[in-house]
Chain A
Amino acid sequence: MTEKPTFDEMWGQTDALRAPYQELGNWFEGEDPARLRAKTREAEELFRLTGITFNVYGRDEAEERLIPFDIIPRIMSGSEWRTLSRGIEQRVRAINQFLYDIYHRQEIVRAGRIPAEMIQNNDAFLPQMCGVNPPGGIYTHIVGIDLVRTAEDQFYVLEDNARTPSGVSYMLENRETMLQMFPELFQSNRVRPVQNYPVDLCRSLAACAPAATEGKPTVAVLTPGIFNSAYFEHAFLADEMGVELVEGHDLRIVDGRVAMRTTCGYRPVDVLYRRVDDDFLDPLNFRPDSQLGVPGIMDVYRAGGVTIANAPGTGIADDKAIYSYMPDIVEFYTGERPLLENVPTWRCAEEDAYNYVREHLHELVVKEVHGSGGYGMLVGPTATKKDIAAFRHKFEAKPANYIAQPTLSLSTVPIFNRTGLTPRHVDLRPFVQVSPQGINITPGGLTRVALKKGSLVVNSSQGGGTKDTWVLQD
């Protein structure tokens, strides 16, 4: 671990409440812990009833579980947020330009800023997208940028989620829950609202409608179905946007358009917010065994008959191997210095890096290049000798599959548990919408918190919880 003490967002390093937490701290002082505990149980009851559950892959029985919710909000000042959102906007703009470039002339490769094999040999690169012009020129309509903080002014981007970022329903439900449980807090704090997200999203998606659209664009959400871990979110978003939630077998190609089977026959869909992975999107163009997609949708897409959000092939931008090039990418396309820093990263495909990493496994975080959700990842400092040995075996067999990063001392925000307030590590995923009309960042996002003491893994699939995230109006 690093030598520096952990930065706590509520108390800073001085044991005096940091400004954004002033009102919350005062409120907490006056509260009876027994009442708060009752409130916590109440929140859980509420979540169970509304059905906010997620499915955990690799578990047979407990197919539905709640993500634990902590009642202490994570709070940012208006100026902290402004700094962050400028950085996010810059990064998201660069990601879209990068995607356009990668699927067209690949100037960045020609300029020698990214090695050609990083693209060609990358599974996330979709040759089928080369030369395709997505409606409105937008590739990533919805982005989630994962941020961590290590000090007052130090944020890092941990990863970019440019495929199908999830978690926004928790952002919305967490706020709803806090509003119901502690309305008084929203009177003493001026918290910027997040509830416009679905309406904004619908508008943003409609603004990306393809040329073939007649009249008002029809938007639909494409889900793999009720057994998907994020089904709740898919249904939630469709409901909030007031659009249909479709599955692959509801859709087919009719007269060169993607159409959904309604009770009155097939009706065209203009914009498809798909929560189905690229591989499964079109059995004719990708995995032939997919039951989740729509045969021939890629052909309609290429002909400009439908907007797919996010565009197929965006995974090349959030691939962990590409991640380490993000500072170059931002600079190359925006001509500016990156406002948000990357975590220093060793690409284990490179020999020097590999040698360093294999000697230092116990102190590094090592991630599989194509992994997600905290699976296939080693957190050196908290791993047992046995874990490290097992991991080393996989790692040395295929070093190019891994990147490594120093173990950051992630900031903490208190959670409320049996002993009262106690610090736990957090990260932050703000949600970004992109359309030809601009980039819209919802103030706040999803704060994930590692509920185990000292743990740095915040993934919900690994025992993480969530918090409401506030951006104050100043």
Chain B
Amino acid sequence: MLGRTANGLFWMYRYLERAENTSRLIETGQRLALTRLGNSDDEWRPVLKAAAMDQGFEAAHETLTRDAAIDWMLRAPGNPASVMSTVSMARQNAREVRTAVTEEVWEATNGAYMAIKALLARKVSDRDLPQVLAAIRQRTALVRGATHGTMMRNDIYDFVRLGTFLERADNTARILDVKYYVLLPSAMSVGSSIDNVQWESILRSVSARGGFRMAYGNAGSARDIAAFLILDRRMPRSLAFCVGKILDNLGYLINDYGTRNEALDHAEALAADCLHADIDDILDQGLHEFLQDVLTRLALLGRQIEIDYRFSE
């Protein structure tokens, strides 16, 4: 398998995952804005920040409005991380690795691109927003489904999974980091209704409301939320889950190719901290510091994978 192909697959799935996460973030932001009183435009700053789009947005805009924020996240051509940009990049990568993915995966990706392009051709009205966001998630889910159902479980699939889970771990860590203050011990004791809305928004932005209730009932605390999203291996968007998958897939690759590499060292070190840590230790240490550390190490891991598997010359 070509190093360039591995690169294309890895990024194709990173972009798809990112498009999906962005749509989820917009939905959460919209919901938060609608369920709260007062000036809601400011609510969009943390949303932009969670999507790592705040700096780009501020460079291109004088003031922050809800409309501008949503448009920036959904369709701005000047924003390389907008849903439209990432879906286009995913499709371009899919074209480049056309021979590595199945026909069904290619068609699902191309179909997603065409459908989303049509939906985002014009500014999305408030009324259409829920359907548009749902369509983005459905379309990316179709690609995931085709991937799951038709791709060989070989090195190609390993790179697909590595891209998916690196991006997802990064996304979950960033969402937690933007909202970490809501989960801090000082806030934990309060349990006011506003905080409940905030907590819920965190769970919503990783589609984990139902899962959390299943695991903790209705009495879950802020500490439980942090534990759920960082350490719970049952939760498919938790750091522990994502890092566990990264470790698995790197392991398969190493088995396949017969050589151990540095990327695995990075992943193992990361896993030791995410999988086997105690939530109270993390909170004592400082949630923000912990998450910043995880984000840095995820970036390093990504770079090491690119080097070890010869993504480029």
Chain A residues near B (Cβ < 8 Å): 48-51, 225-226, 231, 235-236, 238-239, 244-247, 249-250, 260-265
Contact = CB atoms under 8 A, between A and B. Distances in A.
Interface string B93-114: 0011011000100110011001
Contacts of A246: 2
A201 to B, nearest CB: 15
A51 B110 contact: yes
Contact of A238 (B1, B3, B99, B106): B99
A264 B98 contact: no
Interface residues of B, number: 24
B123 interface: no
B99 A49 contact: no
A265 B1 CA distance: 10
Contacts of B106: 50-51
A411 B126 CA distance: 57
B98 A263 contact: no
B3 A245 contact: no
B3 A262 contact: yes
Given A235-B95, A235-B98, A263-B155, A244 B257 contact: no
Nearest to B96: A226
Given A244-B99, A249-B313, 7 more contacts: A48-B114, A49-B110, A50-B107, A51-B106, A238-B99, A261-B3, A263-B2
15 contacts: A48-B114, A49-B114, A51-B98, A238-B99, A239-B98, A239-B99, A244-B5, A244-B99, A250-B3, A261-B3, A262-B1, A262-B310, A263-B3, A263-B155, A263-B309
A50 B106 CA distance: 8
Given A49-B107, A261-B310, A247 B4 contact: yes
Contacts of A231: 95
Contacts of B221: none
Nearest to B108: A49
B92 interface: yes
Contacts of B274: none
A128 B21 CA distance: 55
A237 to B, nearest CB: 9
Contacts of B3: 250, 261-263
A225 B96 CA distance: 8
A59 to B, nearest CB: 18
A238 B96 CA distance: 12
Interface of A is mostly: mixed
Contacts of B98: 51, 235-236, 239, 245
Nearest to B159: A263
Contact of A51 (B1, B6, B95): B95
A48 to B, nearest CB: 7
Contacts of B96: 225-226
B78 to A, nearest CB: 18
Contact of B310 (A236, A238, A239, A263): A263
B2 A235 contact: no
Contact of B99 (A48, A245, A263): A245
Interface centre among A51, A231, A265 (most CB of B within 10 A): A51
Interface string B1-18: 111111000000000000
A245 B99 CA distance: 7
Contacts of B257: 263-264
Contact of B1 (A225, A239, A263): A263
Q: 5 nearest interchain CB pairs?
A: A235-B98, A239-B99, A263-B309, A261-B3, A238-B99
Interface in B1-60: 1-6
Contacts of A249: 4, 313
Contacts of B110: 49-51
A249 B4 CA distance: 9
Given A49-B110, A249-B313, A226 B95 contact: yes
Contacts of A238: 99
A465 B3 CA distance: 37
A304 to B, nearest CB: 25
Contact of B2 (A51, A226, A262): A262
A392 B107 CA distance: 48
Q: Which of B99, B110, B155, B259 has the most CB of A within 10 A?
A: B99
Contact of A263 (B6, B95, B103): B6
A226 B93 CA distance: 9
B310 A265 contact: yes
Interface in B67-109: 92, 95-96, 98-99, 103, 106-107
Nearest to A252: B313
Contact of B4 (A50, A250, A265): A250
A451 B253 CA distance: 52
Contact of A250 (B2, B92, B155): B2
A48 B310 CA distance: 33
A238 B114 CA distance: 25
A223 to B, nearest CB: 10
A264 B308 CA distance: 9
A292 B1 CA distance: 20
